[in-house]
Amino acid sequence: MRWIRSSLATALPLLALLPLAASAHVGADGAATHVHAGFMQGLAHPFTGLDHLAAMVVVGLWSASAARDARDLLWAPLGFAALLLAGASAGLAGMQVPAVEPMIAASLLVIGLLAATRLRLPGPLAAALVGAFAFFHGAAHGQEFTDAGGAMSAVAGMVLATALLHAAGMGLGWTLRQRGMWLARAIGAGVALFGAVLLSSFA
């Protein structure tokens, strides 16, 4: 019972974030632009789309649940954050990145499956894989902040929010490592299903 209480204590703060994600993310194809952006707007931005929120949390969840030891823990989150920043910079620079929304959906499918199967990858490969998807997440955010005042501050806030969501996912994954892996696998499977549903809308 103790591990159940501990798992719930970790998961409930994540559930509390869901109302913030009630409005679906409007990506580059939706041409949503923030006229006035700043650090706090960027900090809140990843919480406003369930696709981004789920991807960032499940990266941390997979990293913690599949890690052999603490040395493996940060490869995927750091790879994601670094390429997210690169994608956001590309979006701010006006680069037209193709297939942004389908690739975001694909990221949910792939990373969700990684979490569901607890597949262990070498650290650099894990960082490269999630980083490739993170570039598209970043491009979507960057294109939304294009021409907005304080765009660079917004990007800084977005990267910090990403780190916090990764940390939340890692905390949940680490908590569930021992006796709650079925729940971690179920969360991963749910995210993968969410990604598959999103992908089907582009077919």
- What pLDDT score does 149 carry? 65
Average pLDDT on 181-197 reads 96
Confidence at residue 37, expressed as pLDDT on a 0 to 100 scale: 67
Confidence of residue 147 (pLDDT cuts 50, 70, 90): low
More confident residue, 150 or 40: 40
Chain segment 71-112, per-residue pLDDT in tens: 889 999 999 999 999 999 999 888 989 999 999 999 999 999
What pLDDT score does 27 carry?
41
Residue 2 pLDDT > 80:
no
What distance in Å separates the CA atoms of residue 96 and residue 193, rounded to the nearest whole number? 28
Question: If you ran DSSP here, which 8-state letter would residue 179 be given?
Answer: T
Percent of the residues in the chain that have a pLDDT greater than 70, as a whole number: 80
Angstrom distance (rounded) from CA 119 to CA 117: 5
Q: How far apart are CA 42 and CA 152, in angstroms?
A: 9
Q: Give the residues across from 36 on adjacent strands.
A: 149
pLDDT-wise least confident of 20-29, 62-71, 76-85, 154-163: 20-29
Distance CA(170)–CA(85), nearest Å, equals: 20
Q: Which residue has the tokens 């006006």?
A: 94
Residue 11: the pLDDT is 42
Quote the CA–CA distance of 23 and 9 in Å, as a whole number.
25
Out of 1-5, 96-100, 185-189, least confident range:
1-5
pLDDT of residue 179: 78
The larger pLDDT score, comparing residue 31 to residue 130, is at: 130
What is the pLDDT confidence band of residue 25, given thresholds at 50, 70 and 90? very low
pTM of the predicted structure, to 2 decimals: 0.81
Exposure class string for 48-80: b at 16+ Cβ within 10 A, else e: bbbbbbbbbbbbbbbbbbbbeeeebbbbbbbbb
Q: What are phi and psi of 68, to 5 degrees?
A: -70, -40
pLDDT-derived band at 150, boundaries 50, 70, 90? confident
Model confidence at 148, pLDDT cuts 50, 70, 90, reads low
Residue 143 pLDDT greater than 90, yes or no: no
Amino acid identity of residue 91, one-letter, is G
